[in-house]
Amino acid sequence: MKLSASNASPTIGDPFTISALKESDNDIFYWSGPGYTETTNSNELSINNAKYSNRGWYYCSKGNSDCNTTIRDSIFIDVKLDQETPPCTVTNNFFSSSNLVYDITLTSVTKHMDPTFNAMGVYGGDAFGYPSLRILFNSYNGNVEPLDGVYMTTDQLTFDVTQEYNVVSVSFIYNGVFFHCQPDQKLYVSHLNGKIQVAFCNMVFSDGVSITTTCKCKMTEL
């Protein structure tokens, strides 16, 4: 038995199906993979909407009620992040807001572990510390260098184990007021000469009470 996949390198959101050879109506298939275990008569395992958490090794053992033989095989599904170009034009290391702050040139852009949240973060500010921009990557992703691709915002400041690899928290402080991003907005991550680069367009932030603002930014680790 040899496993095959309709798409062994799907992008997040794509469907994929893993198939094994079915030789008899009495064949029984034991499927397992990332967060998945099933015993079934079906020789196919289908994922309709791939998530990054679906990335990994999938295993299948085939048995038959007519005999005691077992055949096994495995296949790796390499789920990819979406790769998109930011739809707006923003000067590098520059932050602007629709109604709160003056346009800011970021003179400090760093990347390091944030001990408070145990998460990898990218931080930007000017010589006076404004706008104290902080991008936190999901602390359950192993805290490794973020991959290039599209990440989606959460309106939570902290993460939980059920959230996907490509979930981020974006926030900033201005004039002592804390602003956090609204959910389901895109953050674009890439690398330039080995340095991480992040960008967002028309991202909506709220102080949680009465003020909202739309911001855009592009910054590259200095």
Longest CA–CA separation in the chain, Å: 76
pTM (2 d.p.): 0.89
Q: Residue 67, CB half-sphere, CA atoms under 13 Å: how many?
A: 7
Measured distance CA(25)–CA(43) in Å, rounded: 10
Say if residue 57 is in the same domain as residue 151: no
Q: What is the mean pLDDT of residues 206-213?
A: 91
Say if residue 73 is in the same domain as residue 100: no
Domain-terminating residue out of 48, 77, 106: 77
Say if residue 165 is in the same domain as residue 110: yes
Model pLDDT, residue 60:
95
Say if residue 116 is in the same domain as residue 209: yes
Say if residue 110 is in the same domain as residue 71: no
Which structural domain, as residue segments, surrounds residue 111?
94-220
Say if residue 127 is in the same domain as residue 65: no
Model pLDDT, residue 68:
64
Q: Is 26 helix (H, G, I), strand (E, B) or coil?
A: coil
Q: What is the mean pLDDT of residues 160-179?
A: 92
CA distances from 149 to 34, 39, 49, 143, 191 (A): 21, 35, 17, 16, 10
pLDDT in tens, 109-119: 999 998 888 89
Say if residue 106 is in the same domain as residue 138: yes
Measured distance CA(169)–CA(134) in Å, rounded: 8
pLDDT in tens, 173-186: 988 899 999 999 99
Say if residue 43 is in the same domain as residue 135: no
Specify the number of domains making up the chain: 2
Q: To the nearest whole percent, how much of the chain has pLDDT over 90?
A: 70
